[in-house]
Amino acid sequence: MQDLGISVLFQGKNFIRLLGGLWITVRISLISVIISILLGIVLGMIMTMKNPVISAITKIYLEFVRIMPQLVLLFLVYFGVTKAFGIHLSGELSAIIVFSIWGTAEMGDLVRGALVSIPKHQYESGKAIGLTNIQIFRYIIIPQTVRRLLPLAINLVTRMIKTTSLIALIGVVEVVKVGQQIIDASRLSVPSAALWIYGVIFFLYFIVCYPISLLATKLEKVWKD
């Protein structure tokens, strides 16, 4: 029987290669997350402005990015931009662009939500005790915002990592693609490789994402007012 299918993992450098693929996945998500957080904070602050033109533009951007499946966005950038402008973007670069665009929208909305959730009297009390605007932000608004924001932002990181699995479909060689290569290479020697490799990739994703989401849940509990 095929009960030795797991052995495919330990042939040659297969497991190391899988981990290498996983690192590419994680690296792309980390770069996108950092860009998203920076731009998202800016976007979130812009979204709290009461200018109707700005709020209309940001709303359209947000709705569009949130409604489109990430795979569609990936296709738009990877195939669409290449065709329309004649620029060749590598799969990895288009992935980072797409996840940054998507992440910025999500993060921007979280930042906006956190900023709006801080009651007006917090600003007013700050003023009343004679703090400058910078001091109000530094000592009152930012600490409270961060507490509300951080668990949600960490959740966004796990979503980002999970969504990164899609980039195998635009040809980036990451953990799924490496898995497929291993399966193809051992099609004859280990026919049940697909079961084991995909099972292992499943758990690799779990091992990466679970601690992060655990952290988010924990922070949420600790910081609950």
φ and ψ at residue 178, rounded to 5 degrees: -60, -40
**Closer residue to other proteins in complex, CB, 20/80:** 80
**Closer residue to other proteins in complex, CB, 76/140:** 76
C-alpha atoms less than 13 angstroms from C-alpha of 162 in its C-beta half-sphere: 14
- Compute the least distance from the CB of residue 186 to other proteins, in Å: 12
Q: How far is the CA of 42 from the CAs of 63, 96, 113, 160, 177, in angstroms?
A: 18, 19, 13, 19, 35
**Closer residue to other proteins in complex, CB, 139/210:** 210
- Compute the least distance from the CB of residue 134 to other proteins, in Å: 35
Q: Which residues contact 220 (CB under 8 A, 6 or more apart)?
A: 151
Q: How far is the CA of 134 from the CAs of 20, 45, 124, 129, 137, in angstroms?
A: 45, 15, 13, 14, 5
- Compute the least distance from the CB of residue 211 to other proteins, in Å: 9
Where does this chain bind other proteins (CB under 8 A)?
2, 5, 63, 66-72, 75-76, 79-80, 82-84, 158, 162-166, 168-169, 176, 183, 191-199, 201-202, 205-206, 209-210, 213
- Compute the least distance from the CB of residue 84 to other proteins, in Å: 6
